[in-house]
Structure 1
């Protein structure tokens, strides 16, 4: 596991947006960020799940979060522009953006891959992240130290048979991170990196490995040290890095 002990007030006063915040790693990240002082903007397609995370954060006495239901499969460039306007009006800037939401899609040979599923994965796993990042980049630049974190995978760093569109979109995510990180290097206070969570006890992992015993895997809470590190100012000089949570 990534060896880092976050200070209790690491994210105090920061505003951080998390996609896929209703469950799994996104939920754990949202709660961990709030626990360390951040006001978290919860983005996800299922309002009921976001409400549950909101209630959990509020009940713990952490800074009151913001719910923002948004379907990344259907959201348009205007939707992301509207989101940026709302954040700008309420907070003036954005300290952190965690792209966590992803679709697994189908697992199988590429020559049998469903074209509709392909297009869906490109939209959710790649295009939505580009459009959201583009819209929110000016707000990240307004922050004293803005941090943008993409979520990758081991199959996005070395191709593996039958991982199809998921693996390919993760390769593209790594490429987008590297290009954007190089563009902001030394020009703005923004830093851009990616995280490979590794094998984690999540619903997506269970779909990919149905015969695996989930109790043998770390929980999403267990891998939070790297997420906290990249959102806090201890990582201020880290840019363009593909990092592993485990």
Structure 2
């Protein structure tokens, strides 16, 4: 069953029995996604770098009677190839498969002309926003293949689809995410159960948005909970067979 805007009704639990990993699950869109998926019946793996935030989301999920989630602390900025392989081994041991992977974690970095962009910041942003999703997806492909119907969703941004001045490493990383999504979708379209898409939720009331637009009235933007319905659709059975697509929040109006 879907709601008026075409996204799944979570009360019907369209994600029942699915195991879904969300990065940056401690706050913002990641937190809202994890809670919505849990209410829709999924078992969540909450990945993030701040343990108290992850524990708070864990408690919220447990309090609403959803399946017991798992917490996996990881700082994507410093995580090595071995760290990602250890994560995959842990999920293999605990769950045996992975049905959904949401790449939400992101770092804004400075908004600056390329000529003056801090080099260390450039590498840090690309590590979190682009290299980490590559490493994580690569490590988890075996578990995604073990699912009967797996979905990978990359959280994107309009500045990654059309470059804009001063968005620097963040804009480049999101453009790279779009390319990575398309390459993966093309590679996995045949003979695998894995679909891969990106989703740009637009302006949302998050910490990253406040840092990017400090003079903006935050009340003009929707809360994260208002933009996660499309993610339930992309993670659930109703989007089976849809892959390689760049979705925007306006696609679900």
Task: Give the aligned partner of residue 161 of structure 1.
Answer: 165
Matched, 1:149 2:162: no
Task: Give the aligned partner of residue 136 of structure 1.
Answer: 140
Query: Which runs of structure 2 are paired with 1:6-21 in the superposition (5 Å)?
Result: 6-7=9-10, 8-21=12-25
**Which whole-Å CA distance do the structure 2 matches of 1:3 and 1:230 have between them?**
11
Query: Which runs of structure 2 are paired with 1:69-88 in the superposition (5 Å)?
Result: 69-88=73-92
**Which whole-Å CA distance do the structure 2 matches of 1:122 and 1:204 have between them?**
16
**Which whole-Å CA distance do the structure 1 matches of 2:168 and 2:147 have between them?**
37
- Contact kept, 8 Å, 1:2 with 1:226, in 2: the verdict is no
**What is the TM-score normalised by the length of structure 2?**
0.95
- Contact kept, 8 Å, 1:196 with 1:245, in 2: the verdict is yes
Matched, 1:99 2:103: yes
**What is the TM-score normalised by the length of structure 1?**
0.98
- Contact kept, 8 Å, 2:24 with 2:105, in 1: the verdict is yes
- Contact kept, 8 Å, 1:6 with 1:229, in 2: the verdict is no
**Which whole-Å CA distance do the structure 2 matches of 1:201 and 1:3 have between them?**
22
Task: Give the aligned partner of residue 201 of structure 1.
Answer: 205
- Contact kept, 8 Å, 2:8 with 2:14, in 1: the verdict is no
Task: Give the aligned partner of residue 234 of structure 1.
Answer: 238
Cα distance, 1:72 vs structure 2 = 0.2
- Contact kept, 8 Å, 2:18 with 2:41, in 1: the verdict is yes
**Which whole-Å CA distance do the structure 1 matches of 2:132 and 2:214 have between them?**
28
**Which whole-Å CA distance do the structure 2 matches of 1:81 and 1:166 have between them?**
26
**Which whole-Å CA distance do the structure 2 matches of 1:187 and 1:158 have between them?**
32
Task: Give the aligned partner of residue 3 of structure 1.
Answer: 6
Instruction: Tell me the secondary structure at the aligned position of residue 138 of structure 1.
Output: helix
Cα distance, 1:214 vs structure 2 = 1.0
**Which whole-Å CA distance do the structure 1 matches of 2:117 and 2:103 have between them?**
25
Task: Give the aligned partner of residue 184 of structure 2.
Answer: 180
From 39, 45, 59, give the equivalent of 1:41: 45
Could you tell me which runs of 5 or more consecutive residues in structure 2 were left unpaired when the two chains were aligned: none
- Contact kept, 8 Å, 1:2 with 1:223, in 2: the verdict is no
- Contact kept, 8 Å, 2:34 with 2:44, in 1: the verdict is yes
CA RMSD of superposed structures (Å): 1.1
**Which whole-Å CA distance do the structure 2 matches of 1:206 and 1:3 have between them?**
29
Could you tell me which runs of 5 or more consecutive residues in structure 1 were left unpaired when the two chains were aligned: none
Instruction: Tell me the secondary structure at the aligned position of residue 97 of structure 1.
Output: strand
**Aligned length in residues:** 246
